[in-house]
Structure 1
Amino acid sequence: MRKTITVSFFLFSFFCFSQENSLTSFVNPFIGTGGHGHTYPGATMPFGMMQLSPDTRLDGWDGCSGYHYSDEYIYGFSHTHLSGTGVSDYGDVLLMPTNDLNFNNGADEKSGYRAHFSHKNEMASPGYYKVFLDETNIEVEVTVSKRSGIHHYTFPKNSKQIVILDLEHRDKVLSSQIDVVSKTEISGHRHSDAWAKDQRLFYNIEFSRPYKKVEYYSPLGGQGDNPTKAAFEFDTSEGNELEVKVAISAVDEAGAKKNLEAEIGDKSFQQVKSEAEIAWEKQLQKIVVETVNNDQKTIFYSALYHTMIAPNLYQDVDGRYRGMDLEIHQSNDFENYTVFSLWDTYRAAHPLYTIIEKERTNDFINSLLAKYDDGGILPIWPLAGNYTWCMVGYHAVPVISDAYLKGIRGFNAEKAFEAMKHSAMQDKLGLISYKEFGFIPVEEESESVSKTLEYAYDDWTIAEMAKAMGKTEDYKLFSERAQYYKNVFDPETKFMRGRFRNTWFAPFDPYEVNFNYTEANSWQYSFYAPQDISGLMNLMGGKVAFEKQLDKLFTAKNETSGREQADITGLIGQYAHGNEPSHHMAYLYNFVNKPAKTQEKVHQILNEMYQNAPDGISGNEDCGQMSAWYVFSAMGFYPVTPASNQYIIGTPLFEKATINLENGKKFEIEAENLSDTNKYIASANLNGKALNRSFIIHSEIMNGGKLVFKMTDKPSNWATKDEEIPKTEITENLIVPAPFIAKGDVAFKNETEISLGVASDKTDIFYSLNDSDFKKYKSPFIISDELILKTYSKKSDSKSQILSTHFYKIDPNLSIKLETEYANQYNGGGNNALIDGVHGAIDFRTGAWQGYHDKDLKATVDLGSSKDVKMVLVNFMQDQRSWIFYPTEITCSVSKNGKDFIELPLQKIEAEKPSEEAGIKTIQFEVGKNIQFIKITAKNFGDLPKGHLGYGGKAWLFVDEIEIK
């Protein structure tokens, strides 16, 4: 079991609500604020636009939400925050009460306006946050409405009363303004650049009493040169308490003022707080669980709370919003939302919304379609009117398809299908190769395996919606593309692998985290074909082989190799619950007639990976996905394949759970004889009839009813027959997988033996050399010259795409000795990568570059005999955003005998010069006559510079091709 932080204030006594047994009293907003959860504890409304929360951290990965439980200082209270993301943004319009005029707010500034605080003087509950700043003796309370909030400050007697407004806080400021409307009203804007490259936010601030003095700070100097900070001082004779009402808008200052007037107006702090608590209580009542275990109840309702924080409303009270074109649009038909972490949330959070948020799901989809209208494409990860292009896949597609297939139709289905198809037909992010070859080659696009797999699932959801809409040709095309996962399956290792120049990326280590996968390794992606689990099972050799491979997943060593990936956490073997690609895997045992194994694993994950503690979430919360897994699984089922309308049964955690549906019906789940040891299902019945299958259908939930489990302490035979297990299977428009080169060096000396393979039984392979006629492959063959190999596979009347591979012949007299070791994940093709004649492209992730981490390059090329050499060229890469820096110095030494070297003039690069762009630099040396040995040394940049995101770490050196002319 994971270690957790335990603190006394986690008792329910710190939650403030008038009803003793309210569900809000079981929400602990501090869960996820420690570890790598990246949540915030402050006040927000369900799916609200404002997130009013303390900021304890200015930067760094574990400061993505602005707050981390391990911190001791509060820098202020800003009005926008992201929940559980892996990238930092927001933290807009910071206010901080203090009693000393000081505009400093850096982490190193001892005299700054930040203030020390203690968790024992901190409280949080849905819609409310309170803290005592013990350094200044100021008590702060905050609460919110949808687009607005109130700060309540209590200053100590006989101290100055100052409120700092800081528009510089966190993100790079593109433009800002502070307009003094009156002694009690301030308005302005803050446009910033972070993850969202052009976020536009406007604000309106009202003080409960007039300030007596204001001073400004400008980064340009002076008091009036476009100030970014202001200090408002208030008269102490007018009392110790001050309220500050704030509203925000993405449209304009007038919009912020309207939002404030409509939502708060003359309401008191207590009124707004009470309304927020009532709204949250109503939300949480959508699922009512019954248990004597208060810790588990707290974890459940905190998880449910986290699923209701994002997506975020992004529209003013008058219906105006800022679109993806950054222009102002009007909507009277739906509420517009932003912050869709779709790579995460399509898996469970959005399927949860189709049950308890049907009306809001329509708004979510209409918001996605508005982004398509305004910006030209369905978003991947939209943030504040910006496309971030973060993560892989086009997962707005399954969100729409899943809703449509469940009968949620409050959107234009024809337009939605057009937008879905448009995403799938793009010519970027590897889709050109995907459409042409049926997979993405390593050399064409980074994270090629993950993209191939996730595109295939997304395409299946397009196919299913096309079938439901009677679009026959689209159904055929996308059901074929849904099978492209087969093209990255290696039948020998039984893993999903990168295809590098039509061979398998090698050497292969399934534990290695490298650029072929998205935040994962091969273990964590080799079970991802939720649309065709039967097909994946067949590739692995059938049910028995599939079950054995699943067993190996959960019992493998719980460590990874390759690059450091902070997202891979919560390991049980190589199952990584802290990141989304693993989330469906425990439920796959149901598909091989072994539901008891699913019950064991789900019970273990529920109890080990979630705790009532700050580090109580085993990875980034990811805008509700980590929590949605818990909500579903604790009720006893999970959507392994969104758009299938199936929920796979696991094991219930509670004696009873009731889903209160929007149509007024209830779906109840009861567990009889439940205990920590009685985690296995002995039998089940649905609405009084025996349920002998290990899955339920969406309509069975939405029609209301009762699902009753009888629990036991030993695995049973419940739902173990073939007709009782779930199945996802593609049976129409079957494809033939593309062949691969199982053996043979693409760059070789003298000769190389070629073996071909295909991940399909009873399938023929045909090949052609240098455009000769195709002939049937029967056995390995040898090539000794540079040539083009073309291949395809055929089964019955179906054939795969034709693949072309260029084989290069290396001068057999040429050899290279590497004195320093490259990283396998960036091997460039192996020991001869620097002399194989193949050049690396501008994207380092495409496999041709050879990478050295915190090491110099030391290589000696042997020409085989003395030759006249005019020039030596060496190519290096820079991508500082990815920790890759040019070398600082490059030396070239030449020798006739390999012992006595003459050093040529040293070449230097200003590698420390900051750059946002990737680049390639060619270094050349003029050599001379009678040279056999050429030694290249390139000095690694070393320690990453101060100001770099990875400061404190070490740089990478990337090299590819040493050319001898």
Structure 2
Amino acid sequence: MTIRQFSFGLLLTVSVFSCNTPKQESGDRPLSSYVNPFIGATTNTEAAGSYHGLGKTFPGATAPFGMVQVSPNTITGGDNGSGYSYEHTSIEGFAFTQMSGIGWYGDLGNFLVMPTIGPLHTFAGTADNPDGGYRSRYDKQSEKAAAGYYSVRLTDYQIQAEATALPHSGMLRFTFPESKEARIQIDLARRVGGTSVRQSVEVVDDHTIRGWMQCTPDGGGWGNGDGKADYTVYFYAQFSRPFGEHGVWSADIPDGWSRKREDIESERYHEVIRQAAIHPAVSSFEGKHLGFYANFETKPGEEILLKSGISFTSLKNAEENLSAEMKDWDFDKTYAACSRLWDNELAKVKIDGGSDDDKTTFYTALYHTMIDPRICSDVNGEYTGADKKVHQTERFNKRTIFSGWDVFRSQMPLQTIINPTLVNDLINSLVEIAAQSGNEYLERWELLNAFSGCMLGNPAISVLCDAYSKGIRDYDVEKAYEYAVNTSRLFGNGPDGYTPGNIGISHTLEYAYTDWCMARLAGWLGKDADRERFDRQAQTYASLFDPVYGWFRPRDGKGDFIPLPEKGRLEEWYGCMECNAYQQGWFVPHDIDGMVKLMGGREKVLADLTDMFEKTPHDYLWNAYYNHANEPVHHVPFLFNRLNEPALTQKWTRDICRNAYRNAVTGLVGNEDVGQMSAWYVLAAAGIYPVCPGDLRYEITSPVFDRVEFRLDPKYATGKTFVVETRDNSPENIYIQHATLNGKAYDKCYLTHADLMAGGTLILQMGAKPSDWGRD
């Protein structure tokens, strides 16, 4: 069966979650057992109705915010950032690094391990012709995943493969049939979206290898090289039993060949890899396209394990990472340790009520928010800086993968509540990268020190402003402010108050918002002249509003409005990034009253906003109205609160939670985008949401669950927990009738961050009909 023949319709209805994994602790069901890593684990564009695809998550094993992710990979090339898509019918191996929920061709996917039997293949084969290489078809019914665990049966070899991970290391357990030609092979060149450009491997002894893979923009990767990702992955790997014969394969890639994504997908490139030279019994080797193999003779049901430490800093650190975390070969114990890490992290938000599917949807969403920004410093605190030198962490853990344009909206505000130290780490990391690189500005989309420039706006300024406003300040504040000023100077609206060009609406509105953030920072730091300047700049969003047309329009370099397309404000990419002007035009979170006045007043805006939701497809897949599949509209349902119609916020957020998120592979209507899509659900399902990070206000909406408890960090909160409870909540009773906060009547449709950090309980009485609660 080829990929094209596979029926994707099954994925729309079946839940693939299984707890059929190694036994966990007894007693109450652990929270990690609710996690279904298959939710969103597809890149399928047909099911999405859009070139962006669906969730693009990976189903493999990882620890919370861990450096290592041991996950099956089904494809190399194309816009498949996770390296895996559920509808694919063969697996090419298990990589030790992955990205979560991203487009732009992706990166990582390094150190690809595959168990095989029979003749040695140096090429993975293709999805259409798995027999042409070492990849294997697999039994879909055997595929299982949980937090920290993955398993599958590779039917071409009759091998059971299992994976687990700890923060800096991963472990694979392979159960072989009887064979005199059993093998574990490692593709050292493999990389999602491209290839590593040079590799080295050394045989330390008869069960240990170590080496590195260098990944540069010349080998594609992030943005097919345009993302400027430039990193080296170091590994220290051990086999649970000595190997017999071993060796290296080396493909002779001509010096003049380009090695971007489209090149490594070509038949010409594939043929060179098929013809790779085999070098038996070598003790070390370095080359452009290497793989390592170890041969075994196995008895029926014999297990061979492989474990490896990973480092982005040095061979020594890769070895130390492994020895610190995986001292023995007990796979089940390692998985149990990973489960405990997840249980502790997931306990930061506890829920009661809802169905098992609802709980799985919620805890998987929370799980997806706890993958990035991941640690990239080693167990000894060392990390590779943006200056390519080795540095030592002191007050923070070095973190990477900041998908700024996405995560400033929901993901990072969520972490300010449940993981404020992580936010502090992130800001420290971004400030250090700015200093070490010599760029001295805050990058908007960072990957392993790379200033990729991906997307637009100045999201790091939003994260900084929101963190500082909430007392998260354990970093060099003056330096952070200096780099924020530089960022706004380098990337901001022009002297006329707007950014010209055909993405000008998105640029102008997002820059205006982060200018507002800069004004708040300047005011808190006593920089009054800066505050006044940035406050003026924050109002320039209005410069793109066409009063005749009644909506935002992009201007050209001369100041003239760019002609309207046939679909008007519904035309995707007209003035906007990955959306249309109707969707982007609502993004004035810092001045909603001014926006409403500009648009013609409350009644007109309310009618327009209501029309937008009523024309939105029931399934919330990619569309021209409320397009929940992409980030620019994520705050829009909560604008009804600001229009004095909170019942409509309650109506539509409950509808989105019900129909845009499900316990299924297709349960995310758009790319996960490194935690953003899932963070929206966690917050909305809990009944709170920040429309404007930096202003300390959370809109109250209709919770999905009977009780949601946030565990607070005593370093930043005076209370221990903040609880949102409902009375008479149900799929029908979605409207708030009245409320109490800490036992006192509460009639506001919002809370402040101070309310949350003080701890307490918000109780919401629910009913089937809209009420006047929360209205002025």
Query: TM-score, normalized by length of structure 1?
Result: 0.71
Q: Give me the whole-angstrom Cα distance separating, in 2, the residues matched to 1:469 and 1:197.
A: 35
Partner of 1:532: 591
Q: Deviations over 1:897-952 (max 9, x none)?
A: xxxxxxxxxxxxxxxxxxxxxxxxxxxxxxxxxxxxxxxxxxxxxxxxxxxxxxxx
**Partner Cα distance (1:554, 1:215) in 2:** 61
Match for 1:363: what amino acid? Answer: D
- Give, as a single letter, the amino acid of the residue that structure 2 aligns with 1:283: E
2:85 to 57, 68, 73: 68
**1:687 alignment counterpart:** 742
> Residue 493 of structure 1: SS of its match in structure 2?
coil
Match of 2:113 among 85, 95, 105: 95
Residue aligning to 2:260: none
Aligned-partner Cα distance in 1 for 2:22–2:569: 46
RMSD: 2.0
Deviation of 1:286 after TM superposition, in Å, equals: 0.5
Could you tell me which runs of 5 or more consecutive residues in structure 2 were left unpaired when the two chains were aligned: 1-8, 45-53, 223-227, 253-275, 280-284
Alignment of 1:59 with 2:77, yes or no, is yes
The residue number in structure 2 matching 1:204 is 236
* 1:518 counterpart = 2:577: yes
Of 188, 200, 204 in structure 2, the residue corresponding to residue 167 of structure 1 is 188
Q: Distance in 2 between matches of 1:650 and 1:590?
A: 9
- Is 1:291 aligned to 2:353, yes or no? yes
| 2:101 is equivalent to residue 84 of structure 1 | yes
Match of 2:523 in 1: 467
1:22 aligns with 2:47: no
After TM superposition, give the deviation of residue 238 of structure 1 in Å. Answer: 11
Tell me the equivalent position of 2:369: 307
**Residues 323-382 of structure 1: CA distance to partner in whole angstroms, max 9, x if unpaired?**
223332221221101101110000011001100001222111111111111122211111
Match for 2:724: what amino acid? I
Q: 2-side partners of 1:112 and 1:314: how far apart?
A: 33
Q: Find the residue that maps to 2:305 and give its secondary structure.
A: strand
Give the alignment partner of residue 132 of structure 2, picking from 88, 102, 111: 111
Does structure 1 residue 503 correspond to structure 2 residue 560? Answer: yes
Aligned partner of 1:403 among 455, 463, 467? 467
Matched with 2:335 is 273
Q: 1:717/1:341 Cα in 2 relative to 1: closer, same or farther (>3 Å)?
A: same
| Cα distance change of structure 1 residues 311 and 292 upon mapping to structure 2, 3 Å threshold | same
Q: Tell me the secondary structure at the aligned position of residue 504 of structure 1.
A: coil
Residues of 2 paired with 1:69 and 1:457: CA distance? Answer: 38
Paired residue secondary structure (2:383):
strand
The one of 233, 240, 249 aligned to 1:217: 249
Query: 2:146 aligns to what?
Result: 125
- Equivalence map 1:525-564=2 (5 Å): 525-556=584-615
Matched, 1:7 2:63: no
Which string of whole-angstrom CA distances, capped at 9 and with x for unpartnered residues, describes residues 7-52 of structure 1? 3643555685334511111111100013410000101011110011
**Counterpart contact for 2:661–2:668, Cα < 8 Å:** yes
TM-aligned CA distance change 1:225 to 1:471, over 3 Å: closer
Instruction: Please give the residue correspondences for 1:835-846 in structure 2 after superposition, counting only pairs within 5 Å.
Output: none
Alignment of 1:690-705 (within 5 A): 690-705=745-760
Query: Closer, same or farther in 2 for the Cα pair 1:464/1:8, shift >3 Å?
Result: closer
CA distance in 2, matches of 1:162, 1:211: 9
Change (3 A) 1:557 1:646: closer
Q: Deviations over 1:202-257 (max 9, x none)?
A: 11111111111113211125336736012110233698211111111111111111
Question: Residues 257 and 700 of structure 1: is their aligned pair in 2 closer, same or farther, counting only changes over 3 Å?
Answer: same
Determine which of 156, 161, 165 is the counterpart of 1:144.
165
Partner AA of 2:292 in structure 1:
A
Distance 1:602 1:411, change over 3 A: same
| Distance across 2 between alignment mates of 1:651 and 1:662 | 25
- Number of aligned positions between the proteins: 703
2:483 is equivalent to residue 424 of structure 1: no
Question: What secondary structure is seen at the aligned counterpart in 2 of 1:275?
Answer: helix
Q: Residue 651 of structure 2 aligns with which residue?
A: 600
Matches of 1:292 and 1:476 in 2, distance apart? 48
Letter of the structure 1 residue corresponding to residue 559 of structure 2: N
Alpha-carbon distance, 1:385 to partner: 2.2
CA distance in 1, matches of 2:504, 2:233: 37
Residue identity matched to 1:205: A
**1:247 is matched with which residue: 282, 301, 309?**
309
- Verify: 1:484 aligned to 2:484, yes or no: no
User: Pairwise mapping of residues 818-833 of structure 1 onto structure 2 (< 5 A)?
Assistant: none
Residues 1:661 and 2:712 aligned together:
yes
Say if 1:577 and 1:583, in contact at 8 Å, map to a contact too: yes
Aligned amino acid, residue 142 of structure 2 = N
**How many Å apart are 1:291 and its aligned residue?**
1.1
Structure 1 residue corresponding to 2:688, chosen from 615, 637, 644 = 637
Any unmatched runs of 5+ in structure 1?
A: 560-567, 722-965
Letter in 2 for 1:65: S
In 1, the alpha carbon distance for the partners of 2:500 and 2:697 equals 33
CA gap of 1:714–1:569, structure 2 versus 1, over 3 A, is closer
Mapping for residues 828-867 of structure 1, pairs under 5 Å: none
Aligned-partner Cα distance in 2 for 1:635–1:72? 37
Q: Is the 1:450–1:525 Cα contact (8 Å) retained in structure 2? A: yes
Q: Which residue of 2 aligns with 1:797?
A: none
Alignment partner of 1:178 is 2:201: yes
Decide whether aligned partners of structure 1 residues 360 and 622 sit closer, same or farther in structure 2, where only a CA change above 3 A counts: same
Establish whether residue 33 from structure 1 lines up as the match of residue 65 from structure 2: no
Identify the residue that residue 387 of structure 1 maps to in structure 2. Answer: 451
Per-residue CA distance 1:870-897 (angstroms, 9 max, x = gap):
xxxxxxxxxxxxxxxxxxxxxxxxxxxx
- Specify the code of the residue in structure 1 equivalent to 2:378: D
Q: Highest Rg: 1 or 2?
A: 1
Describe the superposition over 1:422-445 as per-residue Cα deviations: whole angstroms up to 9, x where unpaired: 10111xx5x4xx231110112xxx
Specify the SS of the correspondent of 2:114.
strand
Worse-matched range after superposition: 24-33 or 538-547: 538-547
Structure 1 264/14 Cα, relative in aligned 2: closer, same or farther at 3 Å? closer
Partner of 1:456: 512
In 2, the alpha carbon distance for the partners of 1:4 and 1:523 equals 32
Aligned partner of 2:186: which letter? L
Aligned partner of 1:22: which letter?
Answer: P
Give me the whole-angstrom Cα distance separating, in 2, the residues matched to 1:512 and 1:713.
37
Per-residue deviation, 1:571: 4.9
Cα distance change of structure 1 residues 317 and 15 upon mapping to structure 2, 3 Å threshold: closer
Where do 1:559-574 residues align within 5 Å? 570-571=621-622, 574=625
Question: What's the CA shift for 1:151?
Answer: 0.9
| d(CA) in 2 for partners of 1:574, 1:463 | 32
- Report the equivalent of 1:343: 405
Q: Is the 8 A contact 1:530 1:640 kept in 2?
A: yes
Determine which structure has the larger helix proportion and give its number.
Answer: 2
Matched, 1:357 2:434: no
> Does structure 1 residue 610 correspond to structure 2 residue 661?
yes
How far apart, CA to CA, are the structure 2 residues paired with 1:545 and 1:468? 36
Instruction: Say whether residues 1:720 and 2:775 are aligned partners.
Output: yes
Q: State how far apart, in whole Å, the 1-side matches of 2:469 and 2:530 are.
A: 16
Aligned to 2:670: 619
User: Which residue of the partner structure matches residue 6 of structure 2?
Assistant: none
Distance 2:187 2:675 in 1: 30
Letter of the 2:249 partner, please give it. Answer: Y
Query: Where does residue 935 of structure 1 map in the other structure?
Result: none
Q: Give % identity.
A: 37
Is it true that 1:371 corresponds to 2:433 in the alignment? yes
Q: Does 1:45 align with 2:63?
A: yes
